[in-house]
Each structure stands twice: as structure tokens, then as C-alpha cells.
Amino acid sequence: MSESIKVVVDAMGGDNAPEEIVKGAVEALAENENIEIIFTGPEDVVNAELGKYQYPASRVRVVHASQIIETGEPPVKAIQSKKDSSLVVGLNLVHKGEADAFVSSGSTGAVLVGGQAIVKKIRGVHRAPLAPLIPTAKGASLLIDCGASVDARPNHLVQFAVIGSIYMKNVMGISKPRVGLVNIGAEEEKGNALCKETYPLLKACPDINFIGNVEARDIPKGAADVYVTEAFVGNVILKMYEGVGGVLLQQIKAGLTSTLRSTIGAALAKPALKKTLKKFDSSNYGGAPLLGLKGLVVKTHGSAKAGEVKNTILQCIQFKEQDVNGKIQEFLARESAAKDSAG
Amino acid sequence: MSESIKVVVDAMGGDNAPEEIVKGAVEALAENENIEIIFTGPEDVVNAELGKYQYPASRVRVVHASQIIETGEPPVKAIQSKKDSSLVVGLNLVHKGEADAFVSSGSTGAVLVGGQAIVKKIRGVHRAPLAPLIPTAKGASLLIDCGASVDARPNHLVQFAVIGSIYMKNVMGISKPRVGLVNIGAEEEKGNALCKETYPLLKACPDINFIGNVEARDIPKGAADVYVTEAFVGNVILKMYEGVGGVLLQQIKAGLTSTLRSTIGAALAKPALKKTLKKFDSSNYGGAPLLGLKGLVVKTHGSAKAGEVKNTILQCIQFKEQDVNGKIQEFLARESAAKDSAG
């Protein structure tokens, strides 16, 4: 367990860069001595931030990158034209094997495109899924895919189910992750064409613990550990979490301060309430990994603060120690062999 | 305004039938004297419920139906085999022109299937959309479709946009309803194949006020008055509302009663909080209409209580007075003429 892990941190990505990003990375260094951090970004800016802290200099390196990819930029063009951005320079370090993982709070589109174009998919992976952990009443579940698989095919979803299970078992420590197919009814014959074709494939897949269809209303309850869906629906689920949660909390806040009586009540209830709601805060679980690549790429929220950056970096250790990519490759080899013998 | 409206009420549908259903209908009778109610269900059961209330007997009729369709039954089979169910008997009354509208808290599938099979679609309607009103920070918006259009085509979505706009204008009184296409990004070129093909058609449609793509996170904020989507995604949105809202409120409740201090605070804050959360309760807005049929069919929540049943019946008045179906037919005639001249 003493093997070290090298994590590239995009010092310039996200709303709170570089301050919170550098702070979170320094905190991760303090928490685990096997971590080495490589920051990408303008050398002077990163060093100025680092100057605020005490940290083990032997485990920190800054690789200069003069450009920044902004959130609004078209991803493909940004990746192609900004070769000296903190994002592209960072992904190249993983590609060249100089680092194990890359963490960024920058543009989701650019991380998705850059991850696939620069770090590249493992041979046999159809599409590299973006798989955030979402909070549930029981803890956290993996929602796979929220990324690049819009208009996915059934065999893509089967790969997501297996890859997601490997992740939840090895990184989150869940022994037999329950896999649910996101659908609009519980019965096998329910749903759209994609679900109807995917269901029997998941049922027949020996590599997963498939529990059947899961309706969206049961997702926040923690009905499964791995929720399998194509990216359009995954994205809608992820953003409904954000939207409903945000508006509801806003309304509750307004209700709590609408009268003097309720304002006093709210002041008394606040500490306990805050503690509970923290459980439902997705930043506790770290960033969303882009899986199936020849290296680990993790996207943290654009609004990520030091805590989320730290948690994300710490998760990378599990990913490497448990050899998640090795296990994905073993599955792909089995899948390919099965196809050959069937064909 | 003195024209009367005949509403068939399925006395036996839903978790709280027949008690809350009959109660809600009696309340609607008291609130508006132009309403006539026809209950379908076992005569003795319905009459026993009615016996609990004072009501204008001249505006109430009971049509006997000996069977009940349960929630778990396969819809098509149930509709075909249970000809004497409260649901089938009720829909037939609308089909034969003996009533204007049908309201049921029974099985959604059976209402969808029965509505299309018995009441039948208006000529020219591709698919009859189920369009619930969902609560937002600004009031309520129409989510169209949550019903039968799984794997819909772009021209289906255009019809939904127009039909939904007619409904929001005439029933909810919004003068130029903003139509948004549910998508995973704001830009025109974003999304899956369906969205990419639908966007330019909505943009070119003269019958609606199209405001572009809407991301799921902005749905609860009230970003549009009519959210257009195919039924799989619509269903996921509807159930995420329910799921996230439910789990969040449960967690908040647990947090509020976790310490003595917070329990006292919660007691003080409760009345104000309750008032606010009521705004976010979808039962305030009545049931979900199944639009585009030769008559109005409305599905109320399975858990509907008297208040929701009453609100739903009152909404039927607007639907008839404003001649929503006449306006849908005018649009279909224009659409068909445009197609002919183009062809």
C-alpha cells in the first residue's frame, strides 16, 4: 500500500481557481504521504498560491501552462487550439505516463473531449462514461453515464454496468454493487426501445448483480448502487437533483424567515439542519470520474472548493491501488473472447 | 358562462377511493353550480358515500359499474376484459357524448390506454400527450409529454408544443406561454438526435412562443411555461421531482427533530414552513390532462385526496368554456393545409 500515486491537478479550472484548488491539493498532501501532486498552470500564479502554505516540497511539482480554457468555449476547438492550457498540458502528462490521474474543475465538455482525445480510451471501450456519485438516502450511488453516450446502444449500456460495478466495488468498497437500469416502469417489458433491448443483456451478464429496472422516483432513495442510463437521461437526472434541491431549499429558507416566530425557530434548528443537509451534498463524494480511459480523469464541480478537491485526489489512490483499469481490461478481454467464440 | 359541464368521476380509482373521490366531487358541486357529476362505480358503494353529504341531487347521477381495474393490472388487457369497470364505463360516457370530461385517480396505464382506445384521438393528432402541471419557483408549468410518446419523432414534439401552449393559454390564463425544449445544453446544436431535429422545427413554428433549449436544472425554477420532451424523459423528470423532493423533506424532518434545540425550533417554524411547501405541492394544480382526445380525460394522482379531485373537476370548466379542443382542431387543420400546399 506504500506505492505512490502521481495526480495532476489543473490549477486553473473552475470558479474558485486557483485558490481553492491549490488549497485542496495541499490538504490532500497532508492527509496521505503517498500522494504526489503536479500542478498545471502559469508558474508564477501557482507558486504564489503555494507560498501561502507549508507543504512537502519534494512531493510537489509545477508544470507551466500559459493558457486557460474557459467554461463557455466550444470544447473541441478549445482542446485543439489551446495546446498550452492547464487542461491540455495536464492530460498530456497522463497520456505520457508521467502521472496516474488528472483532476480538473474546468469545463465539463473540455474534460470529456480532452480525456478521450488525449488520454484515449482503453481498447475495447465503446464510449468513455462520465460517472458522478450522487447522494441518496442510503449514502451514494453511481450514475453512469452523464457524459458522451447520448443516443447510446444497448451494448454501450452493458459496458457501463460492468465498469460502474468495478468502480463501486473497488473504489467505494461495496461488495456486490446492485445494478439498476433507469426506466419508466418496474416490469421487464417497460420502457423505450433502448431499455427493452438492454434489459435482457444486463440480465444475462455474468459480471454484474443486476436487480432490474429502477424508476426515477427511487433513485434518490438509493434503490441501486449503480444506475445505468444513456447520457441524455443521466444528464437530466443529475440536473434535476440540482434543480429540485436548489429550489426546494430556497423555498424552505424563504418560509423559515417569513415570520418572526419562524425566524427564531430557524435559528434554533439551523445547526442540526445543516448537518443533515450536508449528507445530501454531492461535493462530499468527490468528483465524477471519466472511466474507461488509459489513466484516470476526474471532473470536479465547477464550484468545487478545497474539500471536494481534496476528496477527489484521495479517491484516486483507491483507483490505482485496486487497479480499476486492470480489472476493466480483464472484463474487456473476456467480452472480446466471448464474442469471438460466439462469432 | 352559464353553460353546464358534465364530468364523469371514476369513483373507484386511486388509493383513497371511494371516500376522497366522492368528497372532492361533492365539494366541486358546491363551488360551481354549472357542474354536473356522473359517478361510475358499484351503485351501492357510491350511494353509501354520497349519503354522508348534502348535495344538489339534480346535478348528480350514478352509473353502475361492477368491476374495478387495479393499479398493477396490465393496461391493455384490463381495458379489454373489464368492460364493466368504473374506468371503461366512464370513458364510454365521454365517447358517446353523454359527458364532456372524465376524471380518474386509477391506474395511469389504464387511463392512457383507455383514453386513446375508447375516447379516441382527434383526427391529425399523432400521439395523445399526458401533460401534468409541475410546481416551479414561479408557479406551475406544463410538462408535455409524460405519457405515450416514448421514442417520439420530431413532429410529435412540435404538436406537443402547440397543444401545450393552447392549454396553458386557455386553461391557465398565460397570454404567451414560453415553450422550452428539454435538452442537455442551452445551445441550438446540443443534445441527442431527437432534440437536434426538433429544435429548428420549433423555431420555425408560428403557433408558439419558442424560447429555445431548457436544461433540467432550470425546470424547477420556472424557465418556461411549457416544457416539451418525449415521454421517457418526461417521466424521469416527473419522478425525480417526487423522489428528490420526498427524500429531501424526509432528511430535513429527521434533521429538525435530531436535537432538543432543533425540535423546539422546528415547532416554532412549522406553520410558516408548511405554507411555503404547499406552493410546491403538485396536488394544488389538479390532475394531468391527456390531451388531443375527442373529449377531456384527466388523470389525478393515485394518492389524490378530495382537494385535488375538486381542483381537477373545476379545471374541466375552463377547458370546455375556452373550447380547447376546438383550438387544437384549428391548429391541426392549418398544419394539414400547410403540409398539402408543401407537398
Q: What is the pLDDT of residues A313-335, one digit of tens each?
A: 998 998 999 999 999 999 999 88
Kindly report the average pLDDT of chain A as a whole number: 92
pLDDT at position A283: 64
pLDDT at position A330: 92
Given a cut of 70, whether residue A1 has pLDDT beyond it is no
The domains located in chain B, with CATH, are 1-125+292-322 (3.40.718.10), 129-283 (3.40.718.10)
First to last CA, chain B: 42
The more confident residue out of A148 and B30 is: B30
User: What is the C-alpha separation between B57 and B48, in angstroms, rounded?
Assistant: 14
With H, G, I as helix, E, B as strand and everything else as coil, classify residue B35.
strand
Given a cut of 90, whether residue B165 has pLDDT beyond it is yes
How confident is the model over B139-154, as pLDDT tens digits?
899 999 998 778 899 9
How confident is the model over B196-252, as pLDDT tens digits?
999 999 999 999 999 999 999 999 999 999 999 999 999 999 999 888 888 888 888
Positive/negative CA dihedral, A93, A102, A39, A2: negative
Distance from CA of B19 to the nearest CA of A (A): 27
How confident is the model over B92-113, as pLDDT tens digits?
999 999 999 999 999 999 999 9
pLDDT at position A243: 87
Q: CB–CB of A183/A165 below 8 Å?
A: no
Interval B300-318 mean pLDDT = 93
Angle among Cα A312, A318, A321 to the nearest 5 degrees reads 140
Specify the length of chain A in residues: 343
CB contact under 8 A, A252 and B277: yes
Interval B112-127 mean pLDDT = 95
With H, G, I as helix, E, B as strand and everything else as coil, classify residue B297.
strand
Structure confidence at residue B2 as a pLDDT band (50, 70, 90): low
In A, which residues are within 8 Å of B260 by CB distance? none
Distance from CA of B237 to the nearest CA of A (A): 7
Q: CB–CB of B314/B287 below 8 Å?
A: no
Positive/negative CA dihedral, B335, B336, B340, B343: positive
In three state form, how does the secondary structure of chain A look?
A: CCCCEEEEEECCCCCCCCHHHHHHHHHHHHHCCCEEEEEEECHHHHHHHHCCCCCCHHHEEEEECCECCCCCCCHHHHHHHCCCEHHHHHHHHHHCCCCCEEEECCCHHHHHHHHHHHHCECCCCCCCCECCEEEECCEEEEEECCCCCCCCCHHHHHHHHHHHHHHHHHCCCCCCCEEEEEECCCCCCCCCHHHHHHHHHHHHCCCCEEEEEEEHHHCCCCCCCEEECCHHHHHHHHHHHHHHHHHHHHHHHHHHCCCHHHHHHHHHHHHHHHHHHHHCCHHHHCCEEECCECCEEEECCCCCCHHHHHHHHHHHHHHHHCCHHHHHHHHHHHHHHHHHHHC
From B150, B184, B276, residue closest to A255, measured CB to CB: B276
- Which of A39-48, B155-164, B255-264 bottoms out in mean pLDDT, i.e. has the lowest? B255-264
In B, which residues are within 8 Å of A235 by CB distance? 184, 216
Given a cut of 80, whether residue A288 has pLDDT beyond it is yes
Structure confidence at residue B1 as a pLDDT band (50, 70, 90): very low
CB contact under 8 A, A216 and B246: no
Q: What percent of chain A has pLDDT over 70?
A: 97
The more confident residue out of B274 and A33 is: A33
Q: Which residues make beta-bridge pairs with A226?
A: A142, A179
Distance from CA of A203 to the nearest CA of B (A): 21
pLDDT at position A262: 81
User: What is the C-alpha separation between A30 and A18, in angstroms, rounded?
Assistant: 19
**DSSP class of residue B270?**
H
* Widest Cα–Cα separation across chain A: 74
In A, which residues are within 8 Å of B132 by CB distance? none
First to last CA, chain A: 42
Considering only alpha carbons, which residue of chain A is nearest residue B223?
A: A243
Given a cut of 50, whether residue B52 has pLDDT beyond it is yes
How confident is the model over A160-207, as pLDDT tens digits?
999 999 999 998 899 999 999 999 988 888 899 999 999 999 999 999
Given a cut of 50, whether residue A115 has pLDDT beyond it is yes
How confident is the model over A68-105, as pLDDT tens digits?
999 889 999 999 999 999 999 999 999 999 999 999 99
CB contact under 8 A, A264 and B268: yes
What are A265's three cell numbers?
425557530
How confident is the model over A245-283, as pLDDT tens digits?
888 888 888 878 888 888 888 888 787 777 777 776 666
Considering only alpha carbons, which residue of chain B is nearest residue A136?
A: B247
pLDDT at position B187: 85
CB contact under 8 A, B240 and A240: yes
User: What is the C-alpha separation between A133 and A238, in angstroms, rounded?
Assistant: 10
CB contact under 8 A, B258 and A272: yes
From A242, A270, A280, residue closest to B248, measured CB to CB: A280
In B, which residues are within 8 Å of A271 by CB distance? 259, 261-262
With H, G, I as helix, E, B as strand and everything else as coil, classify residue B210.
strand
pLDDT at position B17: 96
Q: CB–CB of A90/A40 below 8 Å?
A: yes
pLDDT at position B284: 67
Structure confidence at residue B254 as a pLDDT band (50, 70, 90): confident
pLDDT at position A284: 67
Considering only alpha carbons, which residue of chain B is nearest residue A268?
A: B265
